[in-house]
């Protein structure tokens, strides 16, 4: 699947399995946080220049449109750059 223009295809990550490196230590991302969701970039349109496949993002909860990949039956979201809070 290939998004068009400024769309970004992301896969939400399980917050209990995601860790972030801070200096020389690894910390767990707070799974109870309701302000953001951690996601991984799967693909993006031609107008998106700031990201690459595999980047981890914080996005707004329930942002974009939830879709299902017909090949893998995996749930993903199609979002825009306005729904990205930060790149990790």
Q: 22: pLDDT confidence band, cut at 50, 70 and 90? A: confident
Q: 56: pLDDT confidence band, cut at 50, 70 and 90? A: very high
Q: What is the mean pLDDT of residues 51-61?
A: 94
CATH architecture under which domain 7-87 falls:
Roll (2.30)
Q: Is 30 helix (H, G, I), strand (E, B) or coil?
A: coil
Question: What is the model's pTM?
Answer: 0.79
**Rounded CA gap, 79 and 76, in Å?**
10
Q: Where are the domains of the chain?
A: 7-87
In this predicted structure, the answer to whether residue 17 has a pLDDT above a threshold of 90 is: no
């Amino acid at each position: 699947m290939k998004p068009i223009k400024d769309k970004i295809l992301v896969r939400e990550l399980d917050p209990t399995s995601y860790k972030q490196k801070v200096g020389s230590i690894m910390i767990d991302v707070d799974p109870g946080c309701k302000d953001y969701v951690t996601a991984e970039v799967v693909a993006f349109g031609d107008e998106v220049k700031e990201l690459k496949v595999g980047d981890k993002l914080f996005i707004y909860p329930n942002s974009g449109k939830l879709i299902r990949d017909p090949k893998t039956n995996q749930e993903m979201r199609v979002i825009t750059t306005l729904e990205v809070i930060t790149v990790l």
